[in-house]
Each structure stands twice: as structure tokens, then as C-alpha cells.
Structure 1
């Protein structure tokens, strides 16, 4: 491995870890977790049933002493119900337990939380509900039933809107 290759690989890793504007302000993307306002979404997923919503303090107008974001964002934690491997020329398929159409989720930014995967990221077509195909997300190749995926959403959504 050359020095140029090492530097290039380090730069790619740094870019992958930088949150986009789809995530709430102050979000930190870690290899096995997403931290929002210092709260571990992997820990939230262990404590609550999916689908669930994490609303950061900056997006909650009911919190006293905080400035409310002009364009608030939340994060949906959805459980993986089923995964289908790549068939023919189609992307791998993943079905989640949340109706992501209800919140306008930014599926392209979906991240696995709660476990570390050493497998490469692959394209998955995310199905927010039976019979409907959603966007394409890059998720670990070894994604499996029971995993939890964090997906950023514009605005603030209530959990009842996600349930099917």
C-alpha cells in the first residue's frame, strides 16, 4: 500500500463520517452509532420498540431555554423486517417496520446503528411499506432481520404516523 493510497483511503473515511444537512444539527456519525445532541441512537433502539422517533432538543419548540431550529429535523429508528439479496440487475431489497412515506424520510442517508459491520456498503432499495419501493440507501452487505436503521427526516413526525 502506497502513501497516496493510504491518504486517499483516510480522506474517503473522513468524508463518509461527515453528516449531511439531512441530519439534525450537532449529529455525529460513528461506525456503529449516530449521536444526536449527545444521545446514542443505538441505546434508544435498545430501550424502545421500533419504529420510534428521536426529536433533538433543538427541534422541540416545547423545550424552555433552547432556540428552535428554523427547519427542524428528527431521526426515525426503524427495524429491519426482511432482506432480499441482489437478484438479476436489481439492488438488494430491505423492508422496514416503519411507513417512511409519512415523514418524507431522506432514505439515501440511512445508517445501521447498534452493531459494527466489517462488510462493504451496498445499494439497497428501501421498502417503507409492503408493495411500495422507496429510495436507495447504502447499507452494509450483511444487513439482516432485527437490525436497526436510523433515517433522518425533515420536520418533526410522531410515532403513530410511522406505524403500519
Structure 2
């Protein structure tokens, strides 16, 4: 009888361990899916570092490998700046979730600039549309110190009222040593 109880406990423990492992695997898959979603929807257009790097890479890539190189560039940049993502699993995820990078607005905007007749106008449109955003907190501090106007901010016309402050009406509370103790 005791042997059967022990066997049941061992079996129950093994089953619990398998459930925990399965839960951990499922959680890892969900977290990876979230990372892939964030990467897929990351706004690379607003990031001047990525756009500058992609412009350099795009010029040296064969047109047949443009999509693959674009995805590699995105993953490389994302790994360095945001969080680590596995390239092979990301490509597999794109295929499994029917995410066609080639038909995204980002890909079209990033690859149509390679046409010389539209390149200048697109980069001008892109820079005017995005503004001159600081890439770090230190750049923001430097812009403020230089007195530059920050992008997408409005100037508020705030002037002092130039009147005397209203005097306090309430008496200050007594300090503990100033309070008379009842005798």
C-alpha cells in the first residue's frame, strides 16, 4: 500500500513538472511573439540612425536580395538598440503569420528612395515630415541649452502678473516647545 502511494506521488510530481515545463515553453513562445510584433511594428522611419544605415546598405545590395537584406538590417538594428531577437525565428514567424514585409509601407518607402529621380524629393519629404527629433536625452538637453526650439512643441506666451503676492491670513502653528503644557 505504501509503495502504491509513493508511486502515485512520484507520478503526480512528474506530471506537475511536465505541466510546468509546458507552461514555461508556452510563455517563452508568447513572449517571443510579442517581441516579434514589436519589431514588425517598430517605427524605423522615425529613426535617423536606421535610415542612414539602411541607405548605405541598400546601395550595395542586389535587388533580388533586397527584402532579405531589409529584414536583416531591421533585426540587426533592433538587436543593438531595443532588444535581442533571433533572425531565423523572426523570418519563420513572418512566414507563419503571413506578414509580407515586401508590401509594408516602410519597405516601399525605404526601397523607392533607390530611384535617383525620386530620391531627393523623398528624403526632403521624410525629413520635413519627421522633424529634427533628438535621439537621446543628452541631445534634448543640448538643444535646450543652445536655446533651440524643440520639435512638435508650441511656444506658450506666459508673462508674470507683476502684482504683490497675497499675504497669508492663517497663523503659523506653534512648535512643540512653544505649546504651554496644562498644569
**What is the TM-score with the length of structure 1 in the denominator?**
0.24
Larger Rg: 2
Larger RCO, structures 1/2 (Cα 8 Å, 6+ apart)? 1
* Structure that is richer in strand per residue: 1
* Structure that is richer in helix per residue: 2
**What is the TM-score with the length of structure 2 in the denominator?**
0.22
